[in-house]
């Protein structure tokens, strides 16, 4: 699998599947309205949204399959601001960096392409990981609305976060060449640690299916690893 992420404009053909995505429990639970949306409600909403200049929707694809949705809302050209939100409905595509890719895309789009001054988002108290994620990207918490909405018979709060264009630009400029290199190394380390699990799964499978041949391959890996160790040792001297 090549893991190609693509963000494309929403199309009329996304109308029906989108209701299914939005109605999944693991998506609607993080939305203000967590009641399943009827066909009629969705149809009215979708047709209006497609022509609403204050909103913009995209579909997130992974290897050409739709896995999520990202949107801007309340686009206000006078105040130069807008809100945003996103979800990945395909659970197995979560935690693989797609959300981070989308967050970077939105920041670039809003501040560099649209030239707006302020980007806002709101996150439910029950979703603290996403608050942390936004803060990591430089969003600042403006406030916490206590007991703002009712969820499962319980009152919960809402975090309000925002980023200003100036903050975004300085965070991009601040990064020196070395910072960027270190960012790449960090990303590689994270991806490699995920892939290590896949490699171990392959080895387990091979050991079960053809134990003798698998052991030969493991022995080869070990011998090459020893060569690498020698080279690294050489490198570490003086």
Ligand X SMILES: CC(C)(COP(=O)(O)OP(=O)(O)OC[C@H]1O[C@@H](n2cnc3c(N)ncnc32)[C@H](O)[C@@H]1OP(=O)(O)O)[C@@H](O)C(=O)NCCC(=O)NCCS
Task: Give contact residues for ligand X (rule: CB under 6 A).
Answer: 27, 30, 85-88, 94-100, 123, 127, 129-130, 133
What's the rounded Cα separation, in Å, for the pair 68 and 70? 7
- Closer to ligand X by Cβ: residue 136 or 215: 136
Taking the complex as a whole, how short is the minimal distance between the CB of residue 103 and ligand X, in angstroms?
Answer: 7
What's the rounded Cα separation, in Å, for the pair 89 and 157? 23
Spatial contact of 116 and 73, defined as CB atoms under 8 Å apart = no
Taking the complex as a whole, how short is the minimal distance between the CB of residue 101 and ligand X, in angstroms?
Answer: 7
Half-sphere exposure (CA, 13 Å, Cβ side) for 136?
Answer: 10
- Closer to ligand X by Cβ: residue 145 or 230: 145
Taking the complex as a whole, how short is the minimal distance between the CB of residue 209 and ligand X, in angstroms?
Answer: 32
Taking the complex as a whole, how short is the minimal distance between the CB of residue 88 and ligand X, in angstroms?
Answer: 4
- Closer to ligand X by Cβ: residue 22 or 165: 22
- Closer to ligand X by Cβ: residue 186 or 210: 186
Q: Return left, alpha or beta for 153; rule: phi > 0 is left, psi -120 to 50 is alpha, else beta.
A: left
Taking the complex as a whole, how short is the minimal distance between the CB of residue 24 and ligand X, in angstroms?
Answer: 10
Taking the complex as a whole, how short is the minimal distance between the CB of residue 100 and ligand X, in angstroms?
Answer: 3
Q: Helices marked H in the chain — which ranges?
A: 15-22, 25-28, 39-50, 98-107, 128-136, 165-174, 177-209, 211-236
For residue 122, give the nearest of 102, 90, 145 by alpha carbon: 145
- Closer to ligand X by Cβ: residue 128 or 166: 128
By beta carbon distance, the residue nearest ligand X is: 99
- Closer to ligand X by Cβ: residue 36 or 95: 95
| Count of other CB atoms within 10 angstroms of residue 75 | 19
Taking the complex as a whole, how short is the minimal distance between the CB of residue 73 and ligand X, in angstroms?
Answer: 12
- Closer to ligand X by Cβ: residue 192 or 215: 192
Sign of CA dihedral 186, 125, 85, 111: negative
Sign of CA dihedral 111, 115, 117, 119: negative
Q: Which tokens sit at 135? A: 């803060």
């Amino acid at each position: 699998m090549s893991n190609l992420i693509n963000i494309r404009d929403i199309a009329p053909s996304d109308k029906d599947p989108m209701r299914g995505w939005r109605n999944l429990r693991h998506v609607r639970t993080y939305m203000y309205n967590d009641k399943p949306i009827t066909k009629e409600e969705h149809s009215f909403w979708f047709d209006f949204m497609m022509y609403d200049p204050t909103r913009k929707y995209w579909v997130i694809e992974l290897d050409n399959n739709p896995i999520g949705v990202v949107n801007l809302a309340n686009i206000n050209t006078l105040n130069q601001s807008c809100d945003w939100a996103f979800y990945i409905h395909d659970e197995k595509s979560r935690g693989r960096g797609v959300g981070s890719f989308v967050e970077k895309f939105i920041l670039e789009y809003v501040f560099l392409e649209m030239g707006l001054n302020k980007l806002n988002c709101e996150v439910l108290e029950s979703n603290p990981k996403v608050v942390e994620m936004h803060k990591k990207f430089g969003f600042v918490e403006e406030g916490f609305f206590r007991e703002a909405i009712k969820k499962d018979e319980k009152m919960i709060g809402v975090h309000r976060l925002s980023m200003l264009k100036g903050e975004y630009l300085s965070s991009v400029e601040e990064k020196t060449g070395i910072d960027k290199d270190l960012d790449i190394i960090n990303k590689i380390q994270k991806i490699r640690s995920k892939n290590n699990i896949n490699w171990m799964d392959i080895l387990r499978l091979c050991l079960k299916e053809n134990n003798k041949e698998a052991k030969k391959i493991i022995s080869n890996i070990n011998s090459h690893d020893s060569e690498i160790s020698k080279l690294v040792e050489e490198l570490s001297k003086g």
